[in-house]
Amino acid sequence: MTMPAKNYASTRFSELDEINEENVKDLRVAFTFSTGVNKGHEAAPLVVENTMYIVTPYPNILYALDLTKPGAPLKWAFRPNPEPTSQGVACCDVVNRGAAFSDGRIFFNTLDGHTIAVDAETGAAVWNNKVGNINIGETITMAPLVVKDKVLVGNSGGELGVRGWVKALDAKDGHVVWTAFSTGPDKDVLIGSEFKPFYDSDKGEDLGVSTWPPNAWQIGGGNMWGWISYDPDLDLIYHGTGNPGPWNPDLRPGDNKWTAGIFARDPDTGAAHWFYQWTPHDMHDYDGINEQILLDMDWKGKPRKVLVRPERNGYIYILDRTTGEVLSAEPFGAVNSSKGVDLKNGRLIVNEEKAPRTGKLVRNICPTASGVKDWEPSAFSPRTGLLYIPHANLCMDEQGVDVNYIAGTPYVGMEVRMIPGPGGHRGEFTAWDIANERPAWKIKENFPVWSGALATAGDVVFYGTMEGWFKAVSARTGDLLWQFKTSSGIIGQPVAYRGPDGHEYIAILSGVGGWAGAVVSGDLDPRDRTAALGFAGVMADLKDVTAPGGTLYVFKLP
Amino acid sequence: MKMRTLALLAGVAILLTGCQREERDTRPDPVKGAGDQAVPVTSLAPGGERPVDTDAKAARFADNAFHMSEGKRLFDWFNCSGCHSRGGGGMGPALMDDKWIYGSSIENIHATIRDGRPNGMPAFGGRVPDDQIWELAAYVRSLAGKSSKAAAPGRNDDLMPHPSENRLPDATTLGRSP
């Protein structure tokens, strides 16, 4: 458990099988811990050598709990004291998605743009490097990934005209080894002789400049606030790029490279190897930063190294991760903003009827700006061949408006109000049969499922709901096997670990918030349906069923 | 026929003179950064309550239909709406409810916009002309139903996220948090 995604392939699959379909009904609380923070808890707990590490939302406290003692008492707490003003430039609650462990150190990011290395044993800071600037709207919310001797970090700020980047910091002293921007000239994007994209639309010089109106790329977004995977055999990292800014597409004609896509890069130099754009000239805030699950599997009778991406625009993409070729793209939720993906040229087929324009109100666009699936990571079980995807079922009305760029303030230019999707339920938990390109089963949830998923070798899958239920379902059938009501809504990432006593434990952070839960954690007024970038109105009743407050829950068998 | 026209004209003349016309300050002070008055953000004061200072400008801008409608326009122009949406909040707190972290008077709101606040509100003083900050402050009060219904802005021409400002209830009467 040295990284939130469990492994470099990001399967979030635990080999532990002590807790299984038969006995999961007996799960009970082993211990709890209050984080003392009332914002959205999106992080995954880490467990390394009998210590559990949790990082909270702003003020980004790093707690270490001693698992060898009864009740897992606090070993130490590290308080980085980020600048309070950073809360004013965080687009969608002041979340943090977790820490990473490597070589005796815990690495994590703070909302005000610092990457910090802390000694895992003593809790003393080893190094602290400020890589983001809140005065231009830059924050950091993502969980870093350590690959070899480098800590990979990306920025947030796609709603504030922040130019996206990924940086590699030296794990020893924190100095920046390379920076790869998501927009601008090839030398800034680290596109060179090794760059061999599969599709023609990604070939050409300085496309990160020429696919934008003059200079718009400088405030064009493409932020990397999500997940990175790594293939040690190919020695490539994979990371998405966020939405182009501003949201109003009329203000930035062109494909807006290299936003809303995915890069394969050399971890040592950052050099781009290939790129694929999920959503060229994105019109709906379809950030491309979700997790990518790296699998070696038979695809149509041939062994392939694939990359599976449940994407915000509503499709599950299967890519050949050596070349960036799209092998499959099937919708896994309600989609009408596009009509599929043309597998000949890899391009998303846009539905112009659902294109928002300045001054034009377009109704019932599916999915919403938050996508069929947002950041909340899915899990893959090799035992079932299914991908377990937590996601939403929402649509929206949109109207483009003019917007001024003022550094450090929002740069969106879109009025949004969301509505429940077809069927009226706002969330779904889908088990997707990757090989057969279809859902195996689906669970409907009242609210969007904003927590991550965990699959275990006991054929149990865990996830949480925004009302606060922590659920265990059968990996094969989706039948509910056990549930526990936590103190607040759940938007965290469940993990399984083997405790010092040799037994399997399941851990989850409860504490509602995030974009979907901002109506509660930010105490917003849902009478304004456009509040929280359109999310508040459709979540108005969340205030009636849960309240903010961060608590760690850890479960075990009796 | 002629008599009827004359009577109509006379009627219109009486109507016009009978109305009290709101004064329109169409060329507000372009000077940036004025308004350096200190405004306490708490009513607690050592030694007992203190008289509340009022700014001379406050009366000129509060409840003035023209200034509130200008404030509504500027609310978008300066990206206030980016954080506070149409009053429901988002990156910043809601403005249409009855929770005022730094005070609900027009002087308090003016100071909040001018000087910023430590948990994320940027300081717009020196970047936005002072009179426009007063217009914004006057408009913000209308979002919470705290200004005259006769003067608050009416319906939008485009997407209506909530009832128009002149139909929003006074947030203090809502009784509970929405």
Query: What string of H, E and C letters represents the secondary structure of B49-97?
Result: CCCCCCCHHHHHHCCCHHHHHHHHHHHHHCCHHHHHCCCCCCCCCCCCC
pLDDT tens per residue across all 178 residues of chain B: 577 888 888 777 766 666 666 777 777 666 655 556 678 888 888 888 877 778 888 999 999 999 999 999 999 999 999 999 999 999 999 999 999 999 999 999 999 999 999 999 999 999 999 999 999 999 999 999 999 999 999 888 778 888 899 989 888 887 655 4
Extract the tokens encoding A413.
């230019």
Alpha helices (runs of H) in A150-303, residue ranges in sequence order: 186-189, 207-210
Provide mean pLDDT across the span A321-334.
98
Q: How many beta-carbon pairs below 8 A join chains A and B?
A: 124
Angle at A130 between CA A125 and CA A134, to 5 degrees: 130
A433 known member of a binding site: no
**Any CB–CB contact under 8 A between B156 and chain A?**
no
Instruction: Give chain A's count of helices (H) and strands (E).
Output: 4, 38
Alpha-carbon gap, residue A102 to B136, rounded angstroms = 50
CB-CB neighbors (< 8 A) of B90 in chain A: 518, 522, 524, 531-533, 536
Q: Which of A248, A397, A525 to mutate to test the interface with B (most CBs of B within 10 A)?
A: A525
A153 near A169, Cβ under 8 Å?
yes
Q: Looking at CA atoms only, how far is residue B163 from chain A in angstroms?
A: 9
Element (H, E) at A65: strand A62-66
Sign of the CA dihedral with A95 first, then A396, B72, and B177 last: negative
Residue A323, CA atoms < 13 Å, CB-side half-sphere: 9
Q: Please state, in angstroms and rounded to a whole number, the distance separating the CA atoms of residues A435 and A453.
A: 20
A243 known member of a binding site: yes
Token pair for B31: 């000077």
Q: What distances in angstroms separate CA A397 from CA A288, A419, B11, one per listed residue? A: 21, 8, 47
Do A528 and B96 make contact, defined as CB atoms within 8 angstroms? yes
Euclidean distance between the first and the last CA atom of chain A, given in angstroms as a whole number: 23
List pLDDT tens digits, range A363-394. 999 999 999 999 999 999 999 999 999 999 99
* Closest listed residue to residue A109, CA positions, set A143, A150, A149: A143
Interface of B with A in 51-90 (CB under 8 A): 76-79, 82-83, 85-90
A115 labeled part of a ligand binding site:
no
- Sequence-distant (≥ 6) Cβ neighbours of residue A520 within 8 angstroms: A489, A512, A513, A539, A542, A543, A546, A547, A548
Answer yes or no: is the ipTM higher than 0.90.
yes
Question: Is B94 at the interface with chain A, CB within 8 A?
Answer: yes
Cβ–Cβ < 8 Å for A257, A183: yes
A141/A482 Cα distance (integer angstroms) = 31
Which chain B residues have a beta carbon less than 8 Å from that of A91?
Answer: 91
Measured between CA atoms, the residue of chain A closest to residue B95 is A525
Chain B closest CA to A9's CA: distance in Å?
33
Closest chain A residue to B96 measured between Cα atoms?
Answer: A525
The residue of chain B with its CA nearest to that of A83 is B119
CA A484 vs CA A25, A38, A53, A431, A459: distances in Å: 10, 21, 23, 21, 18
Quote the CA–CA distance of A330 and A446 in Å, as a whole number. Answer: 24
Bridging pattern class, strands A51-55 and A62-66: antiparallel
- Rounded to 10 degrees, what is the CA torsion of B80, B83, B89, B92? -110
Query: Which DSSP category does B20 fall into?
Result: P
What percent of chain A is modeled with pLDDT above 70?
Answer: 100
**A contacts of B113 (beta carbons < 8 Å):** none
Report the Cα A299 to chain-centroid distance in Å: 26
Residue A320: Cβ-neighbour burial (10 angstroms; 0-12, 13-18, 19+): middle
Task: Let me know: does B92 contact B85? Beta carbons within 8 Å.
Answer: no
Chain B residues with CB under 8 Å of A417 CB are 159, 161
Give the chain A residue nearest B92 (alpha carbons): A88
Is residue A159 annotated as involved in ligand binding? yes
pLDDT recorded at residue B178: 45
- Number of structural domains in chain A: 1
Q: Are the Cβ atoms of A88 and B86 closer than 8 angstroms?
A: no
In a domain, A126, yes or no: yes
**Which of B91, B115, B165, B173 should one mutate to test binding to chain A, selecting the residue with the greatest count of A CBs within 10 A?**
B91
A120-175 pLDDT, tens digit each: 999 999 999 999 999 999 999 999 999 999 999 999 999 999 999 999 999 999 99
C-alpha to C-alpha distance for A274 and A295, rounded to whole angstroms = 18
For B165, the token pair is 């400002």
| Token representation of residue A514 | 């995030």
A425 against B161, higher pLDDT:
A425
* A204 belongs to a structural domain: yes
CATH code, domain with A522: 2.140.10.10
In the sheet that A165-170 helps form, which strands lie side by side, from edge to edge?
A145-147, A150-154, A165-170, A176-181
Given the residues A112, A255, A282, A285, the one annotated as active site: A285
Locus of tokens 């990979």: A152
Q: Which domain covers residue A420, as residue numbers?
A: 13-556
> B85 and A411: CB-CB below 8 Å?
no
Do B90 and A399 lie within an 8 Å CB cutoff?
no
Q: Hey, what are B115's tokens?
A: 């000087």
Residue A436: partners with Cβ closer than 8 Å, 6 or more residues away: none
Amino acid at B109: I
Residues of A in contact with B120 (CB under 8 A): 84-89
Residue A4 is assigned to a structural domain of this protein: no
Chain-chain contact of B90 with A533 (C-beta, under 8 angstroms): yes
Contacts of A437-446 spanning 24+ positions with Cβ under 8 A: A437/A316, A437/A318, A437/A328, A437/A330, A438/A330, A439/A332, A440/A384, A440/A386, A440/A478, A441/A477, A441/A478, A442/A478, A443/A473, A443/A478, A443/A480, A444/A393
- The reply to whether A6 falls in a domain is no
Cβ proximity of A497 and A491 under 8 Å: no
| Any domain includes A545 | yes
Residue A8 belongs to some domain of the structure: no
Q: Is the pLDDT of residue A57 over 50?
A: yes
- CB atoms B88 and A159 under 8 Å: no
Chain B residues in contact with A92 by the CB 8 A cut-off are 91
Residue in chain A lying closest to B98 (CA)? A525
Q: Can you read off the two tokens belonging to residue A252?
A: 């930035």
Q: A163: which DSSP letter?
A: P
- A442 within some domain: yes
Q: What is the pLDDT of residue B100?
A: 94
Instruction: Enter the tokens of residue A441.
Output: 């089963």
| pLDDT attached to residue B1 | 58
A69-81: b (≥16 Cβ within 10 Å) or e: eeebeebbebebe
**A141 annotated as belonging to a binding site for a ligand:** yes
Q: Structural domains in chain B?
A: 56-154+161-178 (1.10.760.10)
Residue A1 domain flag: no
Q: Is residue A445 over pLDDT 50?
A: yes
Which strand (E) or helix (H) includes residue A30?
Answer: strand A28-34
Tokens of B88: 């429901």
Mean predicted lDDT score pLDDT of chain A: 98
User: Chain A closest CA to B96's CA: distance in Å?
Assistant: 7
Substitution target in B72, B83, B85 with the highest count of A β-carbons within 10 Å is: B85
- A285 part of the active site: yes
CB neighbourhood size of A146 (10 A): 21
The answer to whether A36 and A508 have CB atoms below 8 angstroms apart is no
Looking at residue B159, its pLDDT comes to 83
All residues at 6 or more sequence positions from B167 whose CB lies less than 8 Å from its CB, including other chains = B149
